[in-house]
């Protein structure tokens, strides 16, 4: 057998192996199938709400859980992975065995924790029908969990956002996020800089990473996910019956479709592209911060190339434009706050930072209206 032959034999095996693995995956869907699909306008409104929920997880819930687990010596203090999913699982496991894990335990802890986990699942998997029904319950469960882990400043901030949306005084697009929970791995300006470990992110790097994360999520859910769903419905000849926009499922499904095609260099390249796009989604939803800082431009590039592959040039262009916009915006540092933490800034309880009091702000506006 020649060298060439051996190589192609090997890659065919690996494609077959991939297909086998992909076919063996567990597929999950929204727990409650709606009787009628949402209108596309209602979907749009729910997408905005879901973005707010993702931002809240990124700014408050994830880092507050990290800090708690670090205090309890349940997380590697050198890790900068902020994975709300893994953290909630871990906390649920510990709370089910030991009620004294929290400063104040309550018989309802497990209910709140489970609801919090469902909320995170719905946000990461684009369960719009669930979000439109349960968003308020999700947010309130996150408030309760934040209180459980002694992050009272963050709990108050999330409660306020909940109340503003619930009362109708703000739409999700009008919510302005001006504070965040500081994870302990983020160093504290100049003093911290001197003692910085390799795994620490500076405050500037941290804020950059979470701003990128929120922007990536927004473009994923507004552009990539609907493009993937349209392609899926077209390809399978089905009508839309619900409002699930789960990039993970949709990418797996597309991968399975391409893995079944005749082996050809183009096929291989497309399989590779789908895998890279899927990796970007996973990094985003499981929140390792360093690959986000290092590779965010590539993730956006893969997503837009993928939209070209599935014949959605409009979505491809939108993602490309988001990439250009983000690149321009993200290099404007949020200084002032970063290099000179004031006394006021430092005295805030619970590592809850409110950069609002600073001259330059972390200000996340979700609005599409001119500001």
**Which of 233, 283, 275, 285 shows the shortest CA–CA distance to 255?**
275
Give the residue carrying structure tokens 């929120």. 214
Closest CB to ligand NAG among 122 and 248? 122
Q: What is the DSSP letter of 244?
A: B
Q: Are strands 364-365 and 352-353 parallel, antiparallel or unpaired?
A: unpaired
Which of 112, 115, 208, 352 is the binder for ligand NAG (CB under 6 A)?
115
Q: What does the buried/exposed string (b/e) look like for 118-144 if buried means 16 or more CB atoms within 10 Å of the residue's CB?
A: bbbbbbbbbbbbbbbebbeebbbbbbb
Question: Is position 18 an interface residue for ligand NAG (rule: CB under 6 A)?
Answer: no
Closest CB to ligand NAG among 143 and 273? 143
The footprint of ligand NAG on residues 179-238 (CB under 6 A) is 237-238
**Which of 255, 288, 296 shows the shortest CA–CA distance to 273?**
255
State how far the Cα of 12 lies from the Cα of 153, in Å rounded to an integer.
55
Contact region with ligand NAG (CB under 6 A), list: 129-137, 145-153, 225-233, 332-340: 129-137
Contact region with ligand NAG (CB under 6 A), list: 75-83, 94-102, 268-276, 354-362: 94-102
Which of 4, 5, 100, 169 is the binder for ligand NAG (CB under 6 A)?
100
Q: What is the DSSP letter of 246?
A: -
Question: Is position 101 an interface residue for ligand NAG (rule: CB under 6 A)?
Answer: yes
Shortest reach from residue 94's CB to ligand NAG, in Å:
8
Closest CB to ligand NAG among 32 and 199? 32
Cβ count near 208 (within 10 Å): 20
Closest CB to ligand NAG among 140 and 155? 140
Given phi > 0 = left and psi -120 to 50 = alpha, else beta, which region is 237?
left
State how far the Cα of 231 lies from the Cα of 239, in Å rounded to an integer.
11
Locate 20 and state its tokens: 């086998």
Which of 83, 118, 144, 287 is the binder for ligand NAG (CB under 6 A)?
118
Which of 41, 239, 347, 371 is the binder for ligand NAG (CB under 6 A)?
239
Shortest reach from residue 91's CB to ligand NAG, in Å:
12
Contacts with ligand NAG by CB under 6 A lie at 32, 72, 98, 100-101, 115, 118, 133-134, 137, 237-239
């Amino acid at each position: 057998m020649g060298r060439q032959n051996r190589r192609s034999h090997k890659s065919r095996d690996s494609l077959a192996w991939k297909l086998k693995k992909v076919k063996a995956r567990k597929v999950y869907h929204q727990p409650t199938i709606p009787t009628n699909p949402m209108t596309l306008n209602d979907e749009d409104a729910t997408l905005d709400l879901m973005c707010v929920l993702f931002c809240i997880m990124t700014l408050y819930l994830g880092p507050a859980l990290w800090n708690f687990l670090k205090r309890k010596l349940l997380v590697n203090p050198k890790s900068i992975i902020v994975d709300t999913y893994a953290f909630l699982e871990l906390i649920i496991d510990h709370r089910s065995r030991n009620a004294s894990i929290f400063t104040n335990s309550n018989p309802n802890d497990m209910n709140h924790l489970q609801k919090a986990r469902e909320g995170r699942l719905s946000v990461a998997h684009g369960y719009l029908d669930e979000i439109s029904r349960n968003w308020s319950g999700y947010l309130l469960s996150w408030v309760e969990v934040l209180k459980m882990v002694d992050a009272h400043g963050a709990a108050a901030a999330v409660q306020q956002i909940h109340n503003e949306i619930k009362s109708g005084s703000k739409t999700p697009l009008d919510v302005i996020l001006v504070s965040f929970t500081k994870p302990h791995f983020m160093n504290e300006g100049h003093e911290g800089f001197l003692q910085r470990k390799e795994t620490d992110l500076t405050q500037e790097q941290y804020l950059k990473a979470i701003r990128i994360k929120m922007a990536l999520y927004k473009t994923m859910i507004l552009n990539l996910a609907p493009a993937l769903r349209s392609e899926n419905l077209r390809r399978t000849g089905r009508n839309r019956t619900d409002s699930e926009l789960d990039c993970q499922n949709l990418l797996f499904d597309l991968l399975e479709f391409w893995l079944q095609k005749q082996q050809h260099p183009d096929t291989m390249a497309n399989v590779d592209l789908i895998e890279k796009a899927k990796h970007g989604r996973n990094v985003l939803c499981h929140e390792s911060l360093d690959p986000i800082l290092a590779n965010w431009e590539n993730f956006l590039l893969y997503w837009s190339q993928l939209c070209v592959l599935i014949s959605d040039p409009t979505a491809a262009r939108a993602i490309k434009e988001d990439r250009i916009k983000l690149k321009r915006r993200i290099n404007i540092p949020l200084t002032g706050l970063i290099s000179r933490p004031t006394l006021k800034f430092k005295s805030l309880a619970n590592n809850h930072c409110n950069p609002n009091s600073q001259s330059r702000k972390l200000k996340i506006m979700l609005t599409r209206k001119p500001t």
